[in-house]
């Protein structure tokens, strides 16, 4: 079984590395966009799956990453690497603000507060002079990475994006499997006990908000560089809904389940595009059956079937239905 896992992973890695050389098989820009969503969903899941906090405002971080990077690179003439960094840090700073305000409540109220704040951020990008309102921030130059790699070439860009996303996912994995991640799970499972054990729960929550927001921002930043565009729908609440959908579809009790969800949603929107408005209906139906039939998500379900107890599963606790018995603050 172990051997099989490693073989699958190795073949997958080789396939991903080969992507830019076979544009007729799979469109590299589409794969890069999917990478961005993978990072976005996994970062989002740090909050939902690992800390038990539902944020309905993550589009604000994704959109901020895109707009700030676009602004720095296009109007301030910063190199692309610094632009990405700026986008990530801006999103993380926004995450601190969101977190500090939102964690005064929990459950549905918390989700609503993040939603309200994300709407304020959306309004800012709609009105701010540099964003081009409905047209979006267009023609962002791709520039060079670290002054060496010319990102105008899709092939180079592909490997840079691949590397950054891999690094981002490593940060997520490292966070989950660290003492910090263990405290987050303690907060998720039983917050009063975490408090009584002396953990500064509020500080942990703000920190994980910042981390999740920063990585989401990085995903948005890369999307802005790839498409050379930062648009309003990056910051629209639909994006917040989409990332919840990806995470739940993939499995929120796993580290990389959301990645599978992101691939699925991204592939559905890409390949079902010829069907026009039917895409929304199909995604809605898939999502509906997911909520009703397998709440542990695709990867969670697969893991249960295969009894795959490698690093896909974060904890030995019975994964499915964890949220089901959780306290309902209302």
Partner 1 sequence: MDFFGIPIQAVLGQLMLGIVNGSFYAVLSLGLAIIFGVLKIVNFAHGAFFMLGAFVAFMSGRYLGIDYWAALFIAPLVVACIGIVFEYLFLRRLYGLDPIYGLLLTFSLVLVLEGGFRVAFGSSGQPYPTPELLRGVFNLGFMVLPYYRAFVIVAALSVCLATWFLIERTRLGASLRAATERPDLTQAFGINVPLLVTLTYGAGVGLAAFAGVLAAPIFHVNPSMGSNLVIIIFAVVVIGGLGSIIGAIVTGLALGIVEGFTRVFYSEFSSTIVFLVMVAVLLLRPAGLFGRTEA
Residues in 292-311 at the binding interface with partner 1, rule: CB under 8 A: 292, 295
The DSSP annotation for 210-252 comes to HHHHHHHHHHHHHHHHHHT-B-GGGTSHHHHHHHHHHHHHH-T
E strand map for the chain: 144-145, 149-150
Task: Check if the beta carbon of residue 101 is closer than 8 Å to that of residue 113.
Answer: yes
Closest CB 318 distance from partner 1, rounded Å:
15
- If one asks whether residue 130 binds partner 1 (CB under 8 A), the answer comes out as no
Smallest separation (angstroms) from partner 1 to the CB of 173:
24
Q: Which stretch binds partner 1 (CB under 8 A): 37-45, 203-211, 244-252, 303-311?
A: 244-252
Identify the residue among 16, 26, 78, 105 touching partner 1 (CB under 8 A): 105
In degrees, rounded to 5, the angle at the alpha carbon of residue 252 between the alpha carbons of residues 91 and 66 is: 20
Smallest gap from residue 9 Cβ to partner 1 (A): 31
Q: Quick one: 11 or 281, whose CB is closer to partner 1?
A: 281
* 283 counts as binding partner 1 under rule CB under 8 A: yes
Measured from the CB of residue 107, what is the shortest distance to partner 1 in angstroms? Answer: 7
| Least separation in angstroms between CB 327 and partner 1 | 9
Q: Which lies closer to partner 1 via its Cβ, residue 180 or residue 237?
A: 237
* Nearest distance, CB of residue 165 and partner 1, angstroms: 26
Note whether 248 binds partner 1 by CB under 8 A: yes
Question: Which positions from 150 through 189 interact with partner 1, judged by CB under 8 A?
Answer: none
User: Are β-strands 144-145 and 149-150 bridged in parallel, bridged antiparallel, or unpaired?
Assistant: antiparallel
Q: Give residues 36-65 in contact with partner 1 (rule: CB under 8 A).
A: 54
DSSP class of residue 255 equals S
Of 109-117, 134-142, 213-221, 300-308, the segment contacting partner 1 by CB under 8 A is 109-117
- Per CB under 8 A, does 96 bind partner 1? no
277 binds partner 1 (CB under 8 A): yes
Binding segment (CB under 8 A) for partner 1, from list 71-79, 174-182, 278-286, 306-314: 278-286
Q: Please, what's the b/e burial string for 194-227 (b: 16 or more CB within 10 A of its CB; e: otherwise)?
A: beeeebebeebbbbbbbbbbbbbbbbbbbbbbbb
| Distance separating alpha carbons of residues 96 and 145, to the nearest angstrom | 28
Q: Is 62 in contact with 76 (CB distance < 8 Å)?
A: no
> Closer CB to partner 1, residue 121 or residue 259?
121
Distance between first and last Cα of the chain: 43
Distance CA 295, CA 257 (A): 12
**Half-sphere CA count of 111, side-chain side, radius 13 A:** 13
Query: Which residue among 77, 104, 128, 152 contacts partner 1 (CB under 8 A)?
Result: 104
Instruction: Please state whether 315 falls in left (phi above 0), alpha (psi between -120 and 50) or beta.
Output: beta
> DSSP class of residue 145?
E
Asked if 18 and 162 count as a contact pair (C-beta separation under 8 A), the reply is no
Q: Which position among 6, 21, 109, 170 is part of the footprint of partner 1 (CB under 8 A)?
A: 109
Quote the least distance from Cβ 34 to partner 1, whole Å: 20
Among 25, 146, 285, 306, binds partner 1 (CB under 8 A): 285
Contact between 145 and 81 (Cβ < 8 Å): yes
Q: Which residues bind partner 1 (CB under 8 A)?
A: 54, 101, 104-105, 107-109, 111-113, 115-117, 119-120, 122-123, 126-127, 237, 241, 244-245, 248, 276-285, 287-288, 291-292, 295, 323-324, 326, 328-330
């Amino acid at each position: 079984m172990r051997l099989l896992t490693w073989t699958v992973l190795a073949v997958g890695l080789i396939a991903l590395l080969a992507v830019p050389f076979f544009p007729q098989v799979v469109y590299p820009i589409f794969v890069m966009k999917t990478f961005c969503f993978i990072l976005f969903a996994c970062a989002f899941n740090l909050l939902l799956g690992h800390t038990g906090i539902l944020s309905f405002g993550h589009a604000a971080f994704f959109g901020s990453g895109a707009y700030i990077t676009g602004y720095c690179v296009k109007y301030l003439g910063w190199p692309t690497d610094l632009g990405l960094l700026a986008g990530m840090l801006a999103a993380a700073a926004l995450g601190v603000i969101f977190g500090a305000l939102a964690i005064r409540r929990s459950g549905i109220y918390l989700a609503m507060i993040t939603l309200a704040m994300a709407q304020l951020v959306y309004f800012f990008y709609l009105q701010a002079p540099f964003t081009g309102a409905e047209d979006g921030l267009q023609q962002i130059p791709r520039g060079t990475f670290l002054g060496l790699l010319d990102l105008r070439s899709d092939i180079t860009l592909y490997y840079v994006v691949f590397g950054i996303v891999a690094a981002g996912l490593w940060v997520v994995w490292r966070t989950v499997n660290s003492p910090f991640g263990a405290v987050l799970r303690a907060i998720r499972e039983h917050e009063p006990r975490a408090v009584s054990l002396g953990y500064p729960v509020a500080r942990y929550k703000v920190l994980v908000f910042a981390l999740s927001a920063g990585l989401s921002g990085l995903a948005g930043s890369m999307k802005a560089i790839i498409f050379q565009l930062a648009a309003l729908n990056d910051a629209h609440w639909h994006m917040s809904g989409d990332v919840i959908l990806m995470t739940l579809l993939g499995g929120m009790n796993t580290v990389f389940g959301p990645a599978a969800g992101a691939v699925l949603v991204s592939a559905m929107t890409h390949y079902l595009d010829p069907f026009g408005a039917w895409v929304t209906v199909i995604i809605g139906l898939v999502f509906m059956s997911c909520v009703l039939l397998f709440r542990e998500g695709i990867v969670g379900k697969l893991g249960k079937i295969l009894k795959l107890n490698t690093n896909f599963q974060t904890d030995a606790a019975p994964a499915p239905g964890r949220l089901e018995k959780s306290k309902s603050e209302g």
